[in-house]
Amino acid sequence: MQDVILGTSVELPQAVMQSVSLNLTVNGQQREFVVEPWTTLLDLLRHEMDLTGTKKGCDHGQCGACTVLIDGRRMNSCLALAVMQDGKTVTTVEGLAAPDGTLSPIQAAFIEHDAFQCGYCTPGQLCSATALLQEGHAHTPEEIRELMSGNLCRCGAYPNIVDAITQVLAQAATPEVA
């Protein structure tokens, strides 16, 4: 038997209280906040704005459930400090549909292709797929798989996710018939 001290107790610097004001446009609405610097964008969305569509799966950038669009790019909101997003535009799953509630093509395709089961990774998958469609780097199923690999799905809906994205890609490539 030995007596040791282990664990989460660490030498911490003197606590510094500091609040920072922050401007964000979230799903088209401009908002002002006063946040502490250690608040992540994910926690701000979920706790302060009650935008709980954005999910916390790991809180460490290892699962993609928290994916949102920041200035149009897909990002892990769990690793983004809110204070560092000042002046930026954020789109969450709640902002993907049109203002009249019409689902975006990828949202509709997810339902049609049964691209989710429990639904917990789905907001992140949808934000990620929305960005992927805009990025223009994915053309084949192989490329879709690789570029959607930052979003884990434990229910294993991957083949259906790929089908949904493939369909929207094909729709985008086909000129609309009048």
Q: Give the one residue of 25, 31, 89, 120 binding another protein; rule: CB under 8 A.
A: 120
| Pair 115, 160: CB distance under 8 Å | yes
Between CA 108 and CA 105 the distance in angstroms is: 5
* Under rule CB under 8 A, residue 118 binds another protein: yes
Which residues within the stretch 150-169 sit at the binding site for another protein (CB under 8 A)? Answer: 150-162
Q: How far apart, in Å, are the Cα atoms of 64 and each of 107, 141, 154?
A: 17, 20, 12
* Footprint on residues 75-94 left by another protein (CB under 8 A): 75-76, 78-81, 83-84, 92-94
Distance separating alpha carbons of residues 138 and 95, to the nearest angstrom: 23
Pick the closer one to another protein by CB: 114 or 172. 114
Residue 172 binds another protein (CB under 8 A): no
Question: For another protein, which residue of 2, 29, 30, 174 counts as binding (CB under 8 A)?
Answer: 2
SS3 label, residue 24: strand
5 vs 173 by CB, closer to another protein: 5
